[in-house]
């Protein structure tokens, strides 16, 4: 259920009552107070994350264990790493050789599709949808290895010519995990690509600089609503400062509705070569 580098986190099952602390913050499905985060996914499970070192799960009656785990790998996992002073980004992390590239952006922008195109070219996957960013002792930004498999929409599977597995990510997407494509070790981040779509007809690549570069990791944080409640400001300053000083961040825009995975992959490879 957890990435290898979080092996010290205790995961148990049991009752997860509402948080009643006086300074509790609340969202639609979550509560947070110092050291605790609770999330309620209707008909799936309740999750309680404590101090980044303990997780309690209360599965709903008749909920499938695979579904309970899939939801844990989203916001509750983000809460674990926020509490540990790491920065989870809404991103897919891939690598080649000793370096990693982070493909970040909103849902539906094409992170997993671009990653799949690059995996077909010999890249390896560190993790899909949530990239766990850390600051190494030598002031290097690293991306931890998380879970195997890319969640792809049927249209992407067809256009990439893939044979997606039978495992379902959700009601529509399928998991694709070609043999030998997963990298189990953390890698030093070489670049971050902030993906987006726009109304022009050509792909556009530009550098993000200055204050916008410092803000970008916060904009790309996983589930910005809980980031406001859980992100340790001192930890973000340390990680954000090193990113802004040492890691290039590129804005990579594609035409809305256009299929250009191969062109985007060419740009990624050319930019970091």
Amino acid 164: pLDDT: 56
pLDDT tens-place string over residues 128-176: 999 999 998 888 999 999 999 999 988 898 899 987 555 555 667 888 8
Alpha-carbon distances, residue 103 vs 54, 137, 138, 141, 232 (angstroms): 29, 24, 23, 15, 23
Q: Can you name the CATH fold of 87-272?
A: Rossmann fold (3.40.50)
Q: Which residues pair with 94 in a beta bridge?
A: 101, 125
Paired strand residues for 115: none
In the chain, domain spans: 4-83, 87-272
Distance, in Å, from the CA atom of 67 to the CA atom of 268, rounded to the nearest integer, reads: 33
| H-run or E-run covering 218 | helix 210-219
At 55-89, the pLDDT tens digits run: 999 999 999 998 999 999 999 999 999 999 999 99
Q: What secondary structure does DSSP assign to 54-65, as a single string?
A: EEEEEEPTT--H
């Amino acid at each position: 259920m957890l990435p290898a580098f979080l092996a010290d986190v205790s995961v148990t099952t049991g009752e997860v009552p509402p948080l009643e602390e006086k300074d509790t913050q609340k969202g639609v499905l979550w509560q947070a107070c110092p050291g605790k985060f609770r999330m309620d996914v209707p008909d799936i499970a309740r999750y309680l994350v404590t101090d980044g070192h303990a997780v309690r799960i209360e599965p709903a009656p008749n909920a499938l264990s695979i579904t309970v785990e899939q939801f844990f790998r989203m916001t509750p996992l983000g809460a674990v790493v926020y509490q540990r002073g790491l920065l989870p980004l809404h991103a897919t992390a891939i690598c080649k050789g000793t370096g990693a590239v982070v493909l970040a952006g909103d849902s539906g922008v094409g992170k997993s599709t671009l990653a799949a195109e690059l995996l077909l070219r010999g890249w390896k996957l560190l993790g899909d949808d949530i990239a766990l960013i850390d600051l190494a002792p030598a002031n290097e930004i690293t991306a931890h290895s998380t879970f195997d498999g890319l969640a792809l929409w049927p249209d992407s599977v067809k256009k990439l010519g893939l044979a997606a597995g039978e495992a379902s990510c959700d009601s529509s997407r399928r998991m694709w995990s070609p043999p030998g494509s997963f990298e189990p070790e953390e890698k030093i981040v070489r670049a971050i690509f902030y993906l987006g779509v726009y109304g022009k007809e050509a792909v556009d690549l530009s550098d993000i600089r200055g204050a916008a570069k410092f803000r970008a990791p916060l904009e790309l944080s996983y589930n910005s609503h809980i980031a406001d409640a859980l992100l340790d400001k001192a930890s973000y300053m340390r990680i954000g400062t090193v990113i802004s000083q040492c890691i290039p961040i590129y804005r990579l825009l594609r035409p809305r509705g256009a299929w250009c995975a191969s062109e985007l992959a060419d740009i990624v490879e050319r930019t970091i070569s």
